[in-house]
Amino acid sequence: MPDRLDGRVAFVSGASSGLGAHFAEVLADAGARVALAARRLERVEALAKRLNLPERPAAAFACDVTNIVNIRQAVAATEAALGPIDILINNAGVSATQKIVDVSEADYDLVMDTNLKGAFFLAQEIGRRMIEGGRGGRIVNIASVASFKVLGQLATYGMSKAALAQMTKAMAVEWGRHEINVNALCPGYIGTEINADFLAGEGGKKLLAKLPRHRVGEPRDLDGALLLLVSGEESRFINGALLSVDDGLVLT
């Protein structure tokens, strides 16, 4: 069983809904002091208020990962409020279901700036602080089964996640000497509030028919892998891994 996270500080980007909000709750339940960061400040403030305890504070910060100055401000504010960051869950991301011929420059930039550029500079900022502090740390980039497999009408999303997987491996090699482990969690289809309407409709039924066991996962299906990758001792020899949690979808 992965060790507890008592006293450790975790920064979760894209924490206003979906997997980001779920990951924040999981880390808080494991004892971490959690910084919830997202563009929708009111959403993360409400969640932070619910998670906050005297022995395990939680705090909310506005953070648009497409703005590098904003990234630096949010990270600095987190460390001022909660202490040095030990864990980064690099989760902020967007998707656009489009045929390649319909992708505009603005569509392309939104996906790449959020999923890749934002993820890179957030990891860079926190990684730099981990190195300077000499404390080591754990970085988990939230990639996707789309890092390995072509998914219909998700070309730009898949491109961004494939690059995120390569980024994970490069950071793992460069930062391993500093006791910073960098890994990627690669979920398959997970049911959240964002895709609930789609999954309940005809498009969702067609998707389910194509999946290996005709089902999508739940956010809790990622908990074990997440806690393993952020643990101290349990993950000490896991570095540069791309961990698929997809019910076998990548094999099809």
17, 94 contact by CB (below 8 A): no
Q: What's the pLDDT score for residue 117?
A: 98
Integer CA distances (angstroms), 212 to 22, 150, 207, 218, 234, in order: 25, 16, 10, 16, 30
Q: Which of 11, 157, 175, 189 is catalytic?
A: 157
Among this protein's residues, is 108 annotated catalytic?
Answer: no
For 116-133, how does the pLDDT look when each residue is reduced to its tens digit (9 = 90+)? 999 999 999 999 999 999
Among 20, 12, 10, 4, which residue's Cα sits nearest to residue 222? 20
For 51-65, how does the pLDDT look when each residue is reduced to its tens digit (9 = 90+)? 999 999 999 999 999
Q: What's the pLDDT score for residue 196?
A: 82
Annotation: CATH topology of 9-244 = Rossmann fold (3.40.50)
- Here the tokens at position 176 are 């391993």
DSSP 251: G
Q: What's the pLDDT score for residue 182?
A: 98
Distance CA(232)–CA(235), nearest Å, equals 6
Weakly modelled stretches of the chain, pLDDT under 70: 1-3
86, 75 contact by CB (below 8 A): no
